[in-house]
Chain A
Amino acid sequence: MMVAPHSHDNPVATTDSQMPRRRLLAWLSGFGLFASALLAVVSDWLFFKPRVTYGPNARFAIGKPDDFPPGTRIARDVERVCIVREGNKLAAISTTCTHLGCIVAIADTGFACPCHGSHYDQDGNVTGGPAPKPLPWFQVSLAPNGDIVIDKNAPVDPGTYLTV
Protein backbone atom coordinates (compact mmCIF):
# COMPACT_ATOMS: atom_id res chain seq x y z
CA MET A 1 0.00 0.00 0.00
CA MET A 2 1.14 3.46 -0.83
CA VAL A 3 1.19 5.72 2.12
CA ALA A 4 -0.01 9.21 1.28
CA PRO A 5 1.91 9.61 -1.98
CA HIS A 6 0.96 13.27 -2.22
CA SER A 7 1.79 14.17 1.30
CA HIS A 8 3.65 17.33 0.26
CA ASP A 9 0.32 18.73 -0.90
CA ASN A 10 -1.15 18.10 2.46
CA PRO A 11 1.33 18.40 5.32
CA VAL A 12 -1.31 17.47 7.88
CA ALA A 13 -1.60 14.04 6.35
CA THR A 14 2.13 13.38 6.68
CA THR A 15 2.76 10.13 8.47
CA ASP A 16 5.55 9.56 10.93
CA SER A 17 7.28 7.13 8.64
CA GLN A 18 7.85 9.89 6.08
CA MET A 19 9.41 12.45 8.36
CA PRO A 20 12.87 10.86 8.52
CA ARG A 21 13.00 10.73 4.74
CA ARG A 22 12.15 14.37 4.47
CA ARG A 23 14.57 15.27 7.19
CA LEU A 24 17.25 13.19 5.53
CA LEU A 25 16.71 15.06 2.27
CA ALA A 26 16.87 18.40 4.04
CA TRP A 27 19.99 17.31 5.86
CA LEU A 28 21.60 16.10 2.65
CA SER A 29 20.75 19.35 0.86
CA GLY A 30 22.18 21.34 3.71
CA PHE A 31 25.30 19.22 3.67
CA GLY A 32 25.56 19.67 -0.08
CA LEU A 33 25.31 23.44 0.20
CA PHE A 34 27.87 23.52 2.98
CA ALA A 35 30.24 21.29 1.02
CA SER A 36 29.90 23.49 -2.08
CA ALA A 37 30.68 26.57 -0.01
CA LEU A 38 33.74 24.81 1.38
CA LEU A 39 34.76 23.79 -2.13
CA ALA A 40 34.36 27.40 -3.26
CA VAL A 41 36.69 28.57 -0.48
CA VAL A 42 39.29 25.94 -1.39
CA SER A 43 39.13 26.77 -5.11
CA ASP A 44 39.34 30.50 -4.35
CA TRP A 45 42.45 29.84 -2.32
CA LEU A 46 43.96 27.77 -5.13
CA PHE A 47 43.13 30.52 -7.59
CA PHE A 48 44.72 33.26 -5.53
CA LYS A 49 47.83 31.29 -4.68
CA PRO A 50 50.09 31.81 -7.68
CA ARG A 51 51.68 28.73 -9.27
CA VAL A 52 54.25 30.81 -11.07
CA THR A 53 55.88 33.88 -9.64
CA TYR A 54 57.47 36.53 -11.77
CA GLY A 55 60.08 37.73 -9.32
CA PRO A 56 63.81 36.96 -9.48
CA ASN A 57 64.78 33.30 -9.63
CA ALA A 58 65.41 31.65 -6.28
CA ARG A 59 68.25 29.58 -7.78
CA PHE A 60 70.99 31.61 -9.37
CA ALA A 61 74.69 31.64 -10.22
CA ILE A 62 76.76 34.26 -8.48
CA GLY A 63 80.27 33.96 -9.94
CA LYS A 64 83.37 31.81 -9.70
CA PRO A 65 84.91 30.81 -6.36
CA ASP A 66 87.92 32.93 -7.28
CA ASP A 67 85.73 36.03 -7.14
CA PHE A 68 85.47 35.47 -3.41
CA PRO A 69 88.97 35.17 -1.92
CA PRO A 70 89.36 33.59 1.56
CA GLY A 71 88.09 35.85 4.32
CA THR A 72 85.41 37.41 2.14
CA ARG A 73 82.09 38.49 3.56
CA ILE A 74 80.17 40.17 0.75
CA ALA A 75 76.51 41.08 1.12
CA ARG A 76 74.72 40.96 -2.23
CA ASP A 77 71.70 43.20 -1.70
CA VAL A 78 70.11 42.37 -5.07
CA GLU A 79 69.98 38.65 -4.28
CA ARG A 80 69.72 39.27 -0.55
CA VAL A 81 72.48 36.85 0.42
CA CYS A 82 75.81 37.25 2.09
CA ILE A 83 78.61 35.17 0.55
CA VAL A 84 81.00 33.96 3.21
CA ARG A 85 84.32 32.36 2.42
CA GLU A 86 86.62 31.03 5.10
CA GLY A 87 89.68 29.28 3.72
CA ASN A 88 88.32 26.98 1.04
CA LYS A 89 84.86 26.79 2.54
CA LEU A 90 81.89 28.69 1.00
CA ALA A 91 78.47 29.47 2.44
CA ALA A 92 75.52 31.77 1.72
CA ILE A 93 73.61 33.43 4.55
CA SER A 94 70.32 35.23 3.98
CA THR A 95 70.38 38.98 4.52
CA THR A 96 66.60 39.28 4.83
CA CYS A 97 65.88 40.13 8.45
CA THR A 98 63.71 37.44 10.02
CA HIS A 99 61.86 40.14 11.91
CA LEU A 100 60.04 42.18 9.28
CA GLY A 101 61.86 41.57 6.04
CA CYS A 102 64.29 44.49 5.87
CA ILE A 103 67.79 43.97 4.46
CA VAL A 104 70.38 43.51 7.17
CA ALA A 105 73.74 45.20 6.77
CA ILE A 106 77.13 43.71 7.59
CA ALA A 107 78.36 44.99 10.92
CA ASP A 108 81.56 44.42 12.92
CA THR A 109 79.83 41.82 15.04
CA GLY A 110 77.92 40.14 12.25
CA PHE A 111 74.73 41.62 10.88
CA ALA A 112 72.55 44.53 11.98
CA CYS A 113 69.05 45.43 10.78
CA PRO A 114 68.36 49.13 10.19
CA CYS A 115 64.60 48.84 10.64
CA HIS A 116 64.05 47.61 14.16
CA GLY A 117 67.51 47.13 15.52
CA SER A 118 67.94 43.36 15.36
CA HIS A 119 71.51 42.11 15.68
CA TYR A 120 73.01 38.84 14.51
CA ASP A 121 76.44 37.32 14.98
CA GLN A 122 78.75 36.23 12.15
CA ASP A 123 76.79 32.99 11.70
CA GLY A 124 73.41 34.72 11.68
CA ASN A 125 72.39 33.82 15.25
CA VAL A 126 70.25 36.46 16.96
CA THR A 127 72.22 38.45 19.51
CA GLY A 128 69.77 41.27 20.14
CA GLY A 129 66.62 43.01 19.04
CA PRO A 130 63.21 41.63 18.14
CA ALA A 131 64.25 39.09 15.47
CA PRO A 132 62.65 35.75 16.37
CA LYS A 133 64.84 33.42 14.29
CA PRO A 134 68.46 33.23 13.11
CA LEU A 135 69.23 34.12 9.50
CA PRO A 136 68.82 31.01 7.34
CA TRP A 137 71.71 29.51 5.37
CA PHE A 138 71.19 28.49 1.77
CA GLN A 139 72.50 25.55 -0.22
CA VAL A 140 75.65 26.36 -2.19
CA SER A 141 76.80 24.14 -5.06
CA LEU A 142 79.11 24.31 -8.03
CA ALA A 143 77.70 24.22 -11.53
CA PRO A 144 79.55 22.15 -14.18
CA ASN A 145 81.00 25.37 -15.60
CA GLY A 146 82.47 26.23 -12.21
CA ASP A 147 79.92 28.86 -11.18
CA ILE A 148 78.77 29.06 -7.60
CA VAL A 149 75.03 28.32 -7.54
CA ILE A 150 72.86 29.37 -4.61
CA ASP A 151 69.38 27.95 -4.09
CA LYS A 152 67.28 30.12 -1.78
CA ASN A 153 64.55 27.50 -1.83
CA ALA A 154 66.91 25.03 -0.16
CA PRO A 155 67.78 26.11 3.36
CA VAL A 156 70.59 24.17 5.01
CA ASP A 157 71.75 23.84 8.60
CA PRO A 158 73.86 26.77 9.78
CA GLY A 159 77.50 25.84 9.56
CA THR A 160 77.10 23.84 6.33
CA TYR A 161 79.90 24.83 4.01
CA LEU A 162 80.80 23.87 0.47
CA THR A 163 84.46 23.01 0.14
CA VAL A 164 85.98 24.33 -3.06
Chain B
Amino acid sequence: MATRVLGVVALIAVVAASLNALFGVPADVNQGDAQRIMYVHVPSAWLGYLSFGVTALAGIGYLWKRDLRLDAVAVAGAEIGVMFTAFAIWGGMMWGRPVWGVFWQWEDPRLTTTALLLALYLGYLLFRRLTDEPHRRATRAAVVGIIAAVDIPIVHFSVEWWRGLHQGPTIGSPDKVLHPSAPGLFVLALVSMVIAFTLAWGWLMLRRYQLARIEWQMEEHGRLGRLSAARRAAQAAAMPPPDGAAEGV
Protein backbone atom coordinates (compact mmCIF):
# COMPACT_ATOMS: atom_id res chain seq x y z
CA MET B 1 0.00 0.00 0.00
CA ALA B 2 2.81 2.41 0.96
CA THR B 3 4.61 1.58 -2.31
CA ARG B 4 1.43 2.42 -4.25
CA VAL B 5 1.12 5.75 -2.46
CA LEU B 6 4.78 6.49 -3.23
CA GLY B 7 4.15 5.67 -6.89
CA VAL B 8 1.17 8.01 -7.14
CA VAL B 9 3.02 10.83 -5.31
CA ALA B 10 6.07 10.35 -7.56
CA LEU B 11 3.93 10.43 -10.71
CA ILE B 12 2.18 13.65 -9.64
CA ALA B 13 5.51 15.21 -8.61
CA VAL B 14 7.21 14.35 -11.93
CA VAL B 15 4.28 15.71 -13.97
CA ALA B 16 4.07 18.92 -11.92
CA ALA B 17 7.83 19.54 -11.91
CA SER B 18 8.03 18.85 -15.66
CA LEU B 19 5.21 21.29 -16.43
CA ASN B 20 6.95 23.92 -14.29
CA ALA B 21 10.29 23.27 -16.01
CA LEU B 22 8.74 23.43 -19.48
CA PHE B 23 6.26 26.30 -19.11
CA GLY B 24 6.71 27.95 -15.68
CA VAL B 25 10.38 28.90 -15.62
CA PRO B 26 11.60 31.62 -18.01
CA ALA B 27 14.12 30.76 -20.72
CA ASP B 28 17.81 31.31 -19.99
CA VAL B 29 19.29 34.55 -21.38
CA ASN B 30 22.29 32.84 -22.97
CA GLN B 31 21.13 29.29 -23.72
CA GLY B 32 17.49 30.04 -24.53
CA ASP B 33 14.91 27.28 -24.15
CA ALA B 34 17.50 24.54 -24.64
CA GLN B 35 18.47 25.13 -21.00
CA ARG B 36 15.14 23.49 -20.00
CA ILE B 37 16.70 20.13 -20.92
CA MET B 38 19.00 20.58 -17.89
CA TYR B 39 15.98 19.99 -15.64
CA VAL B 40 15.79 16.37 -16.79
CA HIS B 41 19.48 15.87 -17.56
CA VAL B 42 20.83 16.75 -14.09
CA PRO B 43 18.37 14.57 -12.07
CA SER B 44 19.06 11.65 -14.42
CA ALA B 45 22.82 12.01 -13.86
CA TRP B 46 22.31 12.27 -10.07
CA LEU B 47 20.18 9.13 -10.03
CA GLY B 48 22.75 7.28 -12.13
CA TYR B 49 25.35 8.04 -9.43
CA LEU B 50 22.93 7.16 -6.63
CA SER B 51 21.89 3.86 -8.20
CA PHE B 52 25.44 2.68 -8.85
CA GLY B 53 26.45 3.84 -5.37
CA VAL B 54 23.63 1.70 -3.95
CA THR B 55 24.80 -1.24 -6.08
CA ALA B 56 28.35 -0.91 -4.76
CA LEU B 57 27.24 -0.52 -1.12
CA ALA B 58 24.83 -3.47 -1.42
CA GLY B 59 27.70 -5.47 -2.96
CA ILE B 60 29.93 -4.67 0.03
CA GLY B 61 27.04 -5.59 2.34
CA TYR B 62 26.52 -8.89 0.52
CA LEU B 63 30.21 -9.84 0.77
CA TRP B 64 30.02 -9.11 4.48
CA LYS B 65 26.64 -10.65 5.40
CA ARG B 66 26.07 -13.15 2.54
CA ASP B 67 22.42 -12.07 2.47
CA LEU B 68 20.81 -12.49 -0.96
CA ARG B 69 18.38 -9.63 -0.23
CA LEU B 70 21.38 -7.30 -0.57
CA ASP B 71 22.12 -8.84 -3.96
CA ALA B 72 18.53 -8.04 -4.96
CA VAL B 73 19.14 -4.40 -3.96
CA ALA B 74 22.37 -4.42 -6.00
CA VAL B 75 20.75 -5.69 -9.18
CA ALA B 76 17.88 -3.20 -8.79
CA GLY B 77 20.39 -0.36 -8.49
CA ALA B 78 22.40 -1.51 -11.51
CA GLU B 79 19.41 -1.90 -13.84
CA ILE B 80 17.83 1.41 -12.85
CA GLY B 81 21.23 3.13 -12.85
CA VAL B 82 21.88 2.01 -16.42
CA MET B 83 18.53 3.50 -17.43
CA PHE B 84 19.16 6.86 -15.74
CA THR B 85 22.75 7.09 -17.01
CA ALA B 86 21.50 6.47 -20.55
CA PHE B 87 18.91 9.22 -19.98
CA ALA B 88 21.61 11.60 -18.69
CA ILE B 89 23.70 10.95 -21.81
CA TRP B 90 20.68 11.42 -24.07
CA GLY B 91 19.61 14.65 -22.32
CA GLY B 92 23.17 15.95 -22.50
CA MET B 93 23.29 15.25 -26.23
CA MET B 94 19.97 17.00 -26.84
CA TRP B 95 21.25 20.02 -24.88
CA GLY B 96 24.77 19.92 -26.36
CA ARG B 97 23.77 20.17 -30.02
CA PRO B 98 22.03 23.59 -29.77
CA VAL B 99 24.39 25.00 -27.10
CA TRP B 100 27.81 23.50 -27.96
CA GLY B 101 27.12 22.81 -31.61
CA VAL B 102 27.87 19.07 -31.23
CA PHE B 103 25.98 16.09 -29.84
CA TRP B 104 29.09 14.42 -28.50
CA GLN B 105 32.82 14.95 -28.13
CA TRP B 106 35.03 11.99 -27.24
CA GLU B 107 37.82 14.30 -26.03
CA ASP B 108 35.60 15.56 -23.20
CA PRO B 109 36.48 13.69 -19.96
CA ARG B 110 32.97 13.98 -18.41
CA LEU B 111 31.27 12.57 -21.50
CA THR B 112 33.78 9.78 -22.01
CA THR B 113 33.89 8.67 -18.35
CA THR B 114 30.07 8.69 -18.23
CA ALA B 115 29.94 6.48 -21.31
CA LEU B 116 32.45 4.20 -19.60
CA LEU B 117 30.25 4.10 -16.46
CA LEU B 118 27.28 3.04 -18.59
CA ALA B 119 29.37 0.34 -20.29
CA LEU B 120 30.68 -0.93 -16.93
CA TYR B 121 27.22 -1.45 -15.44
CA LEU B 122 25.83 -2.90 -18.67
CA GLY B 123 28.70 -5.35 -18.33
CA TYR B 124 27.68 -5.94 -14.70
CA LEU B 125 24.15 -6.90 -15.81
CA LEU B 126 25.50 -9.21 -18.53
CA PHE B 127 28.04 -10.69 -16.11
CA ARG B 128 25.21 -11.71 -13.77
CA ARG B 129 23.83 -13.97 -16.50
CA LEU B 130 26.97 -16.12 -16.58
CA THR B 131 25.98 -18.27 -13.60
CA ASP B 132 22.69 -19.60 -12.16
CA GLU B 133 23.93 -20.40 -8.67
CA PRO B 134 22.62 -17.45 -6.57
CA HIS B 135 25.49 -17.08 -4.08
CA ARG B 136 28.25 -17.52 -6.64
CA ARG B 137 26.52 -15.01 -8.92
CA ALA B 138 26.02 -12.53 -6.08
CA THR B 139 29.68 -12.79 -5.00
CA ARG B 140 31.06 -12.23 -8.48
CA ALA B 141 28.59 -9.45 -9.22
CA ALA B 142 29.41 -7.70 -5.93
CA VAL B 143 33.11 -7.61 -6.85
CA VAL B 144 32.35 -6.24 -10.33
CA GLY B 145 29.90 -3.68 -8.92
CA ILE B 146 32.43 -2.41 -6.38
CA ILE B 147 35.23 -2.14 -8.96
CA ALA B 148 32.93 -0.35 -11.43
CA ALA B 149 31.95 2.18 -8.74
CA VAL B 150 35.51 3.55 -8.83
CA ASP B 151 34.39 5.38 -11.98
CA ILE B 152 31.67 7.36 -10.11
CA PRO B 153 34.01 9.90 -8.43
CA ILE B 154 36.10 10.04 -11.62
CA VAL B 155 32.96 11.05 -13.59
CA HIS B 156 31.97 13.60 -10.95
CA PHE B 157 35.35 15.28 -10.54
CA SER B 158 36.40 14.97 -14.19
CA VAL B 159 35.22 18.53 -14.85
CA GLU B 160 37.55 19.80 -12.12
CA TRP B 161 40.52 17.53 -12.81
CA TRP B 162 40.67 17.96 -16.60
CA ARG B 163 39.69 20.60 -19.10
CA GLY B 164 36.90 19.75 -21.51
CA LEU B 165 33.73 20.99 -23.15
CA HIS B 166 31.52 20.20 -20.15
CA GLN B 167 31.09 23.07 -17.67
CA GLY B 168 31.93 22.78 -13.97
CA PRO B 169 29.28 22.03 -11.32
CA THR B 170 26.65 24.78 -10.90
CA ILE B 171 25.54 23.70 -7.42
CA GLY B 172 28.07 20.95 -6.75
CA SER B 173 29.80 22.19 -3.58
CA PRO B 174 28.16 23.10 -0.22
CA ASP B 175 29.06 26.76 -0.80
CA LYS B 176 27.40 26.70 -4.23
CA VAL B 177 24.31 25.05 -2.74
CA LEU B 178 23.95 27.92 -0.27
CA HIS B 179 24.91 30.60 -2.81
CA PRO B 180 24.07 29.25 -6.28
CA SER B 181 25.19 31.31 -9.26
CA ALA B 182 21.95 30.51 -11.14
CA PRO B 183 18.78 32.58 -10.43
CA GLY B 184 16.50 31.30 -7.65
CA LEU B 185 13.66 30.29 -10.00
CA PHE B 186 16.02 28.08 -12.02
CA VAL B 187 17.46 26.47 -8.88
CA LEU B 188 13.95 25.88 -7.49
CA ALA B 189 12.84 24.22 -10.75
CA LEU B 190 15.95 22.04 -10.75
CA VAL B 191 15.63 21.07 -7.09
CA SER B 192 11.91 20.23 -7.48
CA MET B 193 12.75 18.05 -10.50
CA VAL B 194 15.55 16.32 -8.56
CA ILE B 195 13.11 15.59 -5.69
CA ALA B 196 10.39 14.35 -8.09
CA PHE B 197 12.83 12.10 -9.98
CA THR B 198 14.23 10.77 -6.71
CA LEU B 199 10.72 9.83 -5.54
CA ALA B 200 10.18 8.00 -8.84
CA TRP B 201 13.57 6.32 -8.39
CA GLY B 202 12.54 5.15 -4.91
CA TRP B 203 9.37 3.58 -6.29
CA LEU B 204 11.22 1.92 -9.18
CA MET B 205 13.87 0.58 -6.79
CA LEU B 206 11.25 -0.94 -4.49
CA ARG B 207 9.43 -2.62 -7.39
CA ARG B 208 12.65 -3.88 -8.99
CA TYR B 209 13.81 -5.21 -5.61
CA GLN B 210 10.50 -7.07 -5.19
CA LEU B 211 10.93 -8.57 -8.66
CA ALA B 212 14.51 -9.65 -7.94
CA ARG B 213 13.40 -11.39 -4.73
CA ILE B 214 10.57 -13.28 -6.44
CA GLU B 215 12.91 -14.34 -9.27
CA TRP B 216 15.48 -15.54 -6.74
CA GLN B 217 12.83 -17.46 -4.75
CA MET B 218 11.59 -19.10 -7.96
CA GLU B 219 15.15 -20.05 -8.90
CA GLU B 220 15.67 -21.48 -5.42
CA HIS B 221 12.38 -23.40 -5.61
CA GLY B 222 13.36 -24.81 -9.00
CA ARG B 223 16.75 -25.89 -7.67
CA LEU B 224 15.19 -27.54 -4.60
CA GLY B 225 12.62 -29.26 -6.81
CA ARG B 226 15.33 -30.68 -9.06
CA LEU B 227 17.33 -31.76 -6.01
CA SER B 228 14.29 -33.44 -4.44
CA ALA B 229 13.48 -35.27 -7.70
CA ALA B 230 17.07 -36.47 -7.96
CA ARG B 231 16.94 -37.75 -4.36
CA ARG B 232 13.66 -39.60 -4.98
CA ALA B 233 15.14 -41.17 -8.11
CA ALA B 234 18.24 -42.23 -6.19
CA GLN B 235 16.11 -43.71 -3.38
CA ALA B 236 13.95 -45.61 -5.91
CA ALA B 237 17.03 -47.02 -7.60
CA ALA B 238 18.53 -48.13 -4.26
CA MET B 239 15.33 -49.84 -3.00
CA PRO B 240 15.04 -53.64 -3.57
CA PRO B 241 12.33 -54.60 -6.07
CA PRO B 242 9.03 -55.67 -4.45
CA ASP B 243 8.22 -59.43 -4.22
CA GLY B 244 7.04 -60.85 -7.52
CA ALA B 245 8.60 -58.09 -9.55
CA ALA B 246 11.76 -60.13 -9.97
CA GLU B 247 9.83 -63.14 -11.31
CA GLY B 248 8.64 -61.17 -14.28
CA VAL B 249 12.19 -60.27 -15.26
**Real binding pair:** no
Residues of B within 8 A of A (CB): none
Residues of A within 8 A of B (CB): none
